[in-house]
Structure 1
Amino acid sequence: MAISFEKAFGVHPSAMMARTQRAEIIATNIANADTPGYKAKDLDFEAVLNQAKSKQNGSMVRTHEKHFDINANSINANAQFRNPLQPDTGDGNSVDVQVERNLYVQNSVEYQASLRFLTGKIQGLKKALNGQ
């Protein structure tokens, strides 16, 4: 009987990829905090997660490493401009560094939680394979 990693791990690998992309977007926001006209972006995590769930229920899968990954840029397509919480400072920049730092830390904690869940699943599979 073959082990289906998609069934074993569920949506967590996709969630980790989305959290990685979100960390990159938030880091870009922080890096551009002083860039005039830069608008803060964020990832609609719920939309990305729903997209991953729907793909998990029967979609095209990449069967060879040389095949094009048609889903590679789907996460970046969900990046949206964030509504600013502060009034415009006059330069058109909508990045609030304190908000971005808080979002980055929250995203990091959620990434670590998914990583721990996957680590636990892998350890459970290893025990099952070893007959423990």
Structure 2
Amino acid sequence: MNKLFSNVDVLKAGLDASWLKNQVIANNIANVDTPNFKSSSVSFEAAFKRALQGDDFTAKKTREGHIDFERADMRATVTTDMNTTYRMDGNNVNIDAESAELAKNQIFYNTLVQQLSSEFRKLNMAINGGK
């Protein structure tokens, strides 16, 4: 049973991380003209790839007998780049890079939504006997 929802669990974690990344990028873009603002980034892709492959993940359970739905290691990390400055005012937001990353993240998010929808269709077919 715990394998039944493992793909859904990984896809949900990926969607959550992608949503966070979208928020961070939007914040960077909103502060493109703020003096001394330092851009942030979100990294989760390596953990997401490991989760898709099913490698080295331990489940988080609060009681024995619970189904292992939650991936303990699927965490997105937000880091702030304090080491670079692109402009004289101390701001390091590169609007071109942020816009490209936003587009890439949107494609990734939409792909995960399609995959999650496919997983739910499969579950629905299994529940309804293939009808």
Class of the TM-score when normalised by the shorter of the 2 chains: 0.7 to 0.9
Note the alpha carbon deviations across 1:55-110, whole angstroms, 9 max, x for none: x93332478xxxxxxx8xx53xx1113475xx632000000112111111110110
SS in 2 for 1:30: helix
- How far, CA to CA, are the matches of 2:97 and 2:2 in structure 1? 46
Indicate which of 107, 110, 113 corresponds to 1:112.
Answer: 110
Percent identity over paired residues = 26
Runs of 4+ in 1 over 6 A off after TM superposition: 50-54
What amino acid maps onto 1:33 in structure 2?
V
- How far, CA to CA, are the matches of 1:12 and 1:18 in structure 2? 10
Is there any run of 5+ residues in structure 2 with no aligned partner, and where?
Answer: 64-71
Aligned-residue offset at 1:48: 4.8
8 Å contact kept, 2:86–2:93? no
Provide TM-score, normalisation by structure 2: 0.73
Structure ranking higher in helix proportion? 1
Is there any run of 5+ residues in structure 1 with no aligned partner, and where?
Answer: 64-70
Q: Across the two proteins, how many residue pairs are aligned to each other?
A: 118
Which residue number corresponds to residue 60 of structure 1?
A: 60
- How far, CA to CA, are the matches of 1:116 and 1:19 in structure 2? 14
Which residue number corresponds to residue 86 of structure 2?
A: 88
Which residue number corresponds to residue 68 of structure 1?
A: none
8 Å contact kept, 1:38–1:94? yes
- How far, CA to CA, are the matches of 1:42 and 1:19 in structure 2? 11
